[in-house]
Amino acid sequence: MASSSSSGLTFKLHPLVIVNISDHYTRVKSQLSLPPSLTSTSSAATSNNNNNNSNGGENNQNPPPRVYGCVIGVQRGRTVEIFNSFELIYDPSTRSLDRSFLEKKQELYKKVFPHFYVLGWYSTGSDAQESDMHFHKALMDINESPLYVLLNPAINPAQKDLPVTIYESELHVIDGVPQLIFVRSSYLIETVEAERISVDHVAHLKPSGGSAATQLAAQLTGIHSAIKMLNSRIRVLHQYLVGMQKGDIPCESSVLRQVSSLLRRLPAIESEKFQDDFLMEYNDTLLITYLAMFTNCSSTMNELVDKFNTTYDRHSRRGGRTAFI
């Protein structure tokens, strides 16, 4: 494996890709520790990965699971921007990739994001392996030069950089034989406003025991207390100035100069740029809240429809009724 890439491409990685890979790995790993009766109800993609990674031996300690998926995005000139990812069904033992599942996923994403296309694939592990090249070559009919995003799920408290590595494939002559090898590529983290709000929210989520208290709630409580204290101090200052104006309190020039100096700072935060930035951030926050509400409503509606289908299915066995949906 070469040390660094010589292609000259600039890679920009969005946080959503890292979150998706981490979520995929966490679900697969958690299902490996569940009883077989519970893991049988998992989805097709994750259950396939579970079976592939649990066949390593008969001992109780299974090796860390590996997950596979595609990364999608756009390429503008020499800049490659990775926006999103989706899971794949791959059997490492037989090195077989479910092509129909891949084509279906690709078609669905094309309907929603017509300008996105498959840039490469992702997996998990500490380093690229020789067996990864078989999966890499399997995607060359979709992208002639796919990239490889590798997430290291091992926790290293001393590591300050993100445990994500992007590889490219290059053709090198080794012992007189041309071979494809993985080479490391540098990348930048690129975010948009909505992603920054979401990542900040996720970063502050930390459950405390069995309650729903989080660090985000504690932070918002602290901000609320600070604003409440500021409001009370302003009221005291206003009452002091009103009493001084009425003559109930003797006039002190030093206090008036301090109040005047404080008030001169207020127009600095009433500029047009501040209002535009504030409204943009406020609207983005409301949009994230509305999306969360819509997601909850959709989930509730799906559960209600499933209950109706179950109920009508039972009646149809008795009286010949059709399903609700």
Q: Where are the domains of the chain?
A: 10-31+64-189
pLDDT number for residue 59: 45
pLDDT number for residue 315: 65
Q: Are 185 and 10 in contact (CB under 8 A)?
A: no
pLDDT tens by residue, 77-104: 889 999 999 999 888 778 788 888 898 9
Count Cα neighbours of 310 within 13 Å in the Cβ-side half-sphere.
Answer: 6
- Which tops the pLDDT comparison, 309 or 60? 309
Residue 193 pLDDT exceeds 70: yes
pLDDT number for residue 190: 87
Residue 50 pLDDT exceeds 80: no
d(CA 219, CA 137): 48
Distance (Å) of CA 78 to CA 7, 75, 150, 239, 267: 9, 7, 21, 63, 44
Provide the whole-model pTM: 0.56
**What's the distance, CA 100 to chain centroid?**
26
Span 150-178, average pLDDT: 85
Span 190-217, average pLDDT: 65
pLDDT number for residue 81: 92
Q: Are 8 and 183 in contact (CB under 8 A)?
A: no
d(CA 66, CA 94): 15
pLDDT number for residue 191: 84
pLDDT tens by residue, 241-285: 898 888 888 888 888 888 888 877 766 666 777 788 888 888 888
Residue with tokens 């309907």: 111
Span 116-125, average pLDDT: 91
d(CA 13, CA 164): 10
The second-level CATH assignment, the architecture, of 10-31+64-189 is: 3-Layer(aba) Sandwich (3.40)
